[in-house]
Structure 1
Amino acid sequence: MAQGLDDFVILITGAQGVVGQPLAERLKSEGKRCLMVSRSANHKQASWLRWDLNEPADQVVRTQLAEVSTLIHCAPIWLLPPRLADLSSARLTRLVVFSSTSVLSKQGSANTQEQVLVQKLADAEAAIQTHCDLHKLHLTILRPSMIYGYGLDQNVMHIARFIRKYRFMPLVGAANGGRQPVHAEDLVSAALRILQDANTYSKTYSLAGGEVLTYRAMVERICRGVGQSPRILSIPLGVFRTLLMLASKIGRFDYTPEMANRMSQDLCYDISPAQSDFGYSPQAFLLNPQRDLSITGNPLQSDQG
């Protein structure tokens, strides 16, 4: 008889992240058996496992992993390949692993750090696929685009914080590159929907949002979401690069020339395979700004605190 979802012990890595937190909350609300990984987990909470994925599992962790049959990996994907051996004691048969569309969009980047990122993503995907093929494990890789939600992300929230602080947003030129921000809850739904779907085994899906809008339109909507009228300062690329160079000499600055270039590049992805295979139906961008641009506290409730 086929094993049902209620029989699974689901291991969630990255359980305090932008996808991991709502995923853990959804599973707990549905009464599923799950084990959440954190470097700072409270040992008194049975549903949490203290494990730094940068380090091998000790015997205590291995014992707790023994009943795990399903892994949903929400931590950085490159942390997983070295830890696959630690999961050999588990009853693992199913892996759903989050990667990133950056493996596609940043392939031609001239930025050294971004080149390293692309290589790490690609190498990790390949290593995990090889391991799963060798051990006959069922793997699906999900590549989200720009993730946002619940004030937990470093994408939309970074823009929102800048606008709140300075009351304007600098953009390069027309900033007319297409974007498809994806809400964390849509990724949670996708991951849970495919857990028992054999049609998704050994496949990789791009998961973007349900709306395509320009970078400028995205910023304008974030402005309105934080209660401000859009105030956009359009700067020529050459001037922007000069400002970046000057800013780098006086301190840390979060933008790079490559990021500036991409404001006018389309970063849109084909989600039709996910729509066809498992009915992926993501929401439009920023439907609930009060929830998703929160700075007063995490709207999600967690027993981790």
Structure 2
Amino acid sequence: MSQPRDCRQILVLGASGAIGRFLLPRLLGAGHEVLAVSRVPRASAVPRLRWVVGNLDSGVPECATPDVIFSLGPLDAFARWFAQARLDGAPRVIAFGSMSVDSKRDSDDAGERALAARLQAAEQALIASADARGCAWTLFRPTLIYGAGVDRSLTPIARFAQRWRVFPRMVGASGLRQPVHADDLAAACIAALATLQTAGKTYALGGGERLAFVAMLERVRASLPVRTLPLPIPLGAARALVGAARAAGLHASSGAAIDRLTRDLVADHSAAVADFGWAPRPFHPDARMWSPA
């Protein structure tokens, strides 16, 4: 069977993550040949999709230079790999960073400031490498991602609530949030690939609705298939619990994360709307979004 005239060879790094679960079907539906990289072996009976085992830190199997590279995982690891990767041509590069590059830049927590600095350095390194190779690049900075049941923000809360039948209600968490569905981000990848105007640009990408953190959690609670008892937690108490957990050597969010619950973390995505028609959905989750597809 002959390939479509617009068929491209596409390398997807981080293919098994939240965005990849929605991007792969879109790429295959458009007739592309996809090489998907995963840390663990995966079988595929889908034509034009081949999974390979690889890790950006330990190595990605060598392959013919693709027409397009999507980086859906950690940006710093991708920037390091891309700088030394053996590529004969100049593939189109579309990569994801994070809004944390801005929201955590001035954090009171040293670890969060270091993360923001790492993200900023990764963006600069990737841009420099892409420009040196003559590759057209596009960077996305999404807000809070949900929808595939593998995120580390809303899904853990939903699963905790379903298991214990209680749902934390953060009293005083008035900061605005703009959750963005992973499938909308996959659609952004397709749109950016088809639009030359997106080359050489960085876009903030937020969801289609801005709502207070407490309202966002209430919608998560309403989406669950079981009844839960709301558990009010004042921010002061949450901050004290986090401090105690960290003092005991337990993994926990920083106090700065609690402080951000009163701050707006939203994106101005007007440039994405103008350049490639970004039109994300409002936040109306259902129970299926808290389990991996």
Output the TM-score relative to the length of structure 1: 0.86
Note if 1:55 corresponds to 2:55. no
Q: Which of 125, 128, 136 is residue 127 of structure 1 equivalent to?
A: 125
8 Å Cα contact 1:205-1:274 kept in structure 2: yes
8 Å Cα contact 1:99-1:143 kept in structure 2: yes
Superposed CA RMSD in Å reads 2.2
User: Once the 2 structures are TM-superposed, how far is the Cα of residue 223 of structure 1 from its aligned partner?
Assistant: 0.7
The separation in 1 between residues aligned to 2:262 and 2:268, in whole angstroms, is 19
The separation in 1 between residues aligned to 2:179 and 2:69, in whole angstroms, is 25
The separation in 1 between residues aligned to 2:198 and 2:50, in whole angstroms, is 28
1:204-247 Cα deviation digits (max 9, x unpaired): 0000000000000001111111143561414142x332222223
Structure 1 partner of 2:279: 281
Structure 2 partner of 1:96: 94
Note if 1:146 corresponds to 2:144. yes
8 Å Cα contact 1:35-1:49 kept in structure 2: yes
Q: How does 1:39-188 map to 2 (within 5 A)?
A: 39-42=39-42, 47-57=50-60, 61-62=61-62, 64=63, 66-188=64-186
Structure 2 partner of 1:290: 287
8 Å Cα contact 2:95-2:140 kept in structure 1: yes
- Once structures 1 and 2 are overlaid, which stretch shifts more, 109-118 or 199-208? 109-118
Structure 2 partner of 1:233: 232
- Once structures 1 and 2 are overlaid, which stretch shifts more, 117-126 or 167-176? 167-176
The separation in 2 between residues aligned to 1:193 and 1:244, in whole angstroms, is 41
User: Once the 2 structures are TM-superposed, how far is the Cα of residue 133 of structure 1 from its aligned partner?
Assistant: 1.6
Aligned length: 286
| Residue identity in the other structure for 2:50 | S
| Residue identity in the other structure for 1:136 | G
User: Once the 2 structures are TM-superposed, how far is the Cα of residue 272 of structure 1 from its aligned partner?
Assistant: 0.6
8 Å Cα contact 2:162-2:228 kept in structure 1: no
Secondary structure, aligned partner of 1:6: coil
Q: How does 1:31-42 map to 2 (within 5 A)?
A: 31-42=31-42
8 Å Cα contact 1:170-1:232 kept in structure 2: yes
8 Å Cα contact 2:173-2:235 kept in structure 1: no
Identical-residue share of aligned pairs (%)? 32
Distance 1:234 1:77, change over 3 A: same
Distance 1:42 1:210, change over 3 A: closer
Structure 2 partner of 1:208: 206
- Once structures 1 and 2 are overlaid, which stretch shifts more, 30-39 or 252-261? 252-261
8 Å Cα contact 2:161-2:228 kept in structure 1: no
Secondary structure, aligned partner of 1:175: coil
Output the TM-score relative to the length of structure 2: 0.90
Structure 2 partner of 1:267: 265
8 Å Cα contact 1:43-1:50 kept in structure 2: no
Secondary structure, aligned partner of 1:142: strand
| Residue identity in the other structure for 1:212 | R
- Structure 1 portions without partners, runs of 5+: 300-305
Secondary structure, aligned partner of 2:257: helix
8 Å Cα contact 1:182-1:282 kept in structure 2: yes
Secondary structure, aligned partner of 1:291: helix
Distance 1:230 1:197, change over 3 A: farther
- Once structures 1 and 2 are overlaid, which stretch shifts more, 78-87 or 193-202? 78-87
User: Once the 2 structures are TM-superposed, how far is the Cα of residue 7 of structure 1 from its aligned partner?
Assistant: 2.9
8 Å Cα contact 1:129-1:139 kept in structure 2: yes
8 Å Cα contact 2:245-2:252 kept in structure 1: no
8 Å Cα contact 1:224-1:230 kept in structure 2: no
8 Å Cα contact 2:171-2:232 kept in structure 1: no
